Amino acid sequence: MSTANQEEFINRIKMALGRPFAKSPREADLFGSEMCAETRAILERIKNRTAEDRKQLLETLIEAAGPIHLTVRACVDINAVTDAIAEVVLDKDPEWGDKKRVVAWRHPLIESLNLPAALSEQDVPVFFSDLQETDEESLRRRIIDSYIGITSADFCMADTATLVMRTRPGQARAVSLVPAIHIAVIELNRIIADLKELYALLKWDPQESKVGLTNCMTFISGPSKTADIEATMVYGAHGPREVHVFVITAEY
């Protein structure tokens, strides 16, 4: 049934475009099947990025983060990140109820933080967002009851301070969405300049294009906000009210 109405629908479009029932002419470059010079230059630039360049990108990121109420902190190593997260956990209170719970991605970088041990000092449980030890319903419940969600990110675009997160097993979407506070931990080399670089990588970089966008790729630029009442900007609408990005600057 669905193919029949698709055919009818597409035929109506073909008629409208003046080529009824004809084989649609394939425009050679409609899907950009050949890499253009500009893209090549972009990929070269990314490949040849120096430590100095990366530091510069971090500066750009920090500058872009300010106006959108995003907190960015450079941390010299993994331990510094763990300490920083422990600080946030100590400082902040849950939005609903009293019990502090944290949920985190099952991700090598996040696992290396040893959060369960670190936060046990404050008696704060840490759950990982996969189905290894629990079922879907319980995981969902855990995420809903957590006040901090910890993720990594595939990339971070410096010019707009945007985290780019693809979806994989163990890396639930709701972790960066449902808890009131979102913490993202990334390595310095994950910071890229802008959308042009992102799309170039996703489409043309051999490793990245193999992964593709995945079935859910999310850009996050700071905490949620709205200006729907009298055009007054309010931070903290339906998504997280606070977002922190910790950037590990040590070379890995």
Enumerate residues 20-39 that contact other proteins by CB under 8 A. Answer: 24, 26-27, 30-32, 39
Q: Which of 136, 206, 207, 252 binds other proteins (CB under 8 A)?
A: 136
15 makes contact with other proteins (CB under 8 A) = yes
Torsion of CA 191, 114, 80, 174, to 10 degrees: 40
Tell me: does residue 45 bind other proteins (CB under 8 A).
no
CB nearer other proteins, residue 72 or residue 222 = 222
| Least Å from the CB of residue 126 to other proteins | 15
77-96: which residues touch other proteins (CB under 8 A)?
Answer: none
Q: Is 2 exposed, middle or buried (0-12, 13-18, 19+ CB in 10 A)?
A: exposed
Stretch that binds other proteins, among 52-60, 114-122, 146-154, 230-238 (CB under 8 A): 230-238
189-228 residues near other proteins, rule: CB under 8 A: 194-196, 199-200, 202-203, 212-228
Residues 165-184 that bind other proteins (CB under 8 A): 167-174, 177-178
Q: Which two tokens stand for residue 19?
A: 């080529």
Helix orientation angle between 37-47 and 195-204, rounded to the nearest 10 degrees: 100
CB of 47 to other proteins, least distance (A): 18
Beta bridge partners of 157: 162, 192
Q: Which residues contact 187 (CB under 8 A, 6 or more apart)?
A: 109, 247, 248, 252
Q: Is 147 exposed, middle or buried (0-12, 13-18, 19+ CB in 10 A)?
A: buried
Q: Which of residues 106-135 bind other proteins (CB under 8 A)?
A: 129-131
Question: Any contact of residue 71 with other proteins (CB under 8 A)?
Answer: no
